[in-house]
Structure 1
Amino acid sequence: MGLPTIAPYDLPRADDLPAARAPFRLERARAALLIHDMQNYFLRVFTPDVAPIAPVIANIARLAAAARAAGVPVFYTAQEGGQDRRDRGLQAELWGPGMSWAPEHQPIVGALTPETGDIVLVKHRYSAFQRSNLETLMRARGRDQLIVCGVYAHIGCTLTAADAFMRDIEPFLAADALADFSRAKHDLALSYVADVCGVPLTTTQIVELL
């Protein structure tokens, strides 16, 4: 129970991305960026300063800078420590009690500290839409596309993308701004989203479109 220790692996490149079934085209005026669960608690299981996590942090920083410069809303998710067992629900059955109130657990990694105007949402379940006002905040800003980056690709990032699709919000996975338990799990997330609900793109492709 709990998170595994994650071995280094190389991130996918543009020519590794699966072809998407969806015809969605990312548009600056319609898009929002979601930086998913980039908290120290979740990142501590990676080997620091190597792939995947080091380039993922750098790529997310690129995406955030490009989004802010383009007037694209930037959202973050962050779980709270010390969750009551009743509030944590079935997640406790798979992952244990989760993060504690320890000061080193909850903060978003320093290189991605939210800036003025960014919105940080409390994360409750795999999907960032569950028990949050993410959809309402997006609709109020005229946004119906969501770029998803962060951890973990095959869990919260994929479920957020699928949930977005079911709310008629077009999802895009930033393929090399995601990290996961392994390259196999990472590729699984990209393939699943490409097959049923969204479009994987590289950081460079997204920055160019923004």
Structure 2
Amino acid sequence: MIKDNFGKLILAVFLGLGLGLILSSSLFEVRRVEIEGYDDENLQMEKIIGSNIFRLEGIELLKEKIGEDPYVEGIEVSRNLPQRVVINVDYNRPVAALQIDGKYTIFNRYFYIIAEDKDQRRYQVPVLKNISYNFRRDRLVFPEEAELMISKLESLNPDLRHRLEEVDFSKGKIELVLSSGAEILIGSVQKLDEKLRVLNSFAEENPELLSRLEYLDLQAPARPVIKER
């Protein structure tokens, strides 16, 4: 009996020492944090970087911050020993829709399907026109240039995004169509960031003009062409 208790005591001591070594060893200090499915430049990683991978100081505060976004439906944290942490975010803010056989398929900025086979467009998002696509499980796959344009939709001025009705990819040229029928010709994805900066500046500086706009040609962003109704 005494030997059994002594053996258990020795085992407990060794386990305690081992746990202490693990929790204090620099081998298990977090060096890299990856967030998949979510982008936010304001997220603070400082408390997690350098902390022990089994303790993860600051992880609950980070999850709480991400969870404040109403479109976040779930957060999972996984540890890739010895020094890497991956945070997977289930983010379901709708960004655009496809009309397939008369029904709508809605997806988010990462091209994951949120809803499909809907008779009506439940979300106020633009419909993609004249675009090729494939399904990969619960995700939509588009041509590379189209994916680049779609990924930029959330960067548009809020008022402009609210008015955006269609994104047309006819003949390799991108055209945005507003609910008023106004057309904004983007053309190719060359200088896309510059074109969208000009577009956002136009929408912010001339909000009343959006209602009178007939078309805006941004194919040459340094020399935009504007026509009012």
The TM-score range, normalised by the shorter chain, is: under 0.3
- Which has the larger helix fraction? 1
Name the larger-Rg structure.
Answer: 2
User: With structure 2 as the length reference, what TM-score do the two structures score?
Assistant: 0.23
* Structure with more contact order per residue of length (Cα contacts < 8 Å, sep ≥ 6): 1
The TM-score normalised by the length of structure 1 is 0.24
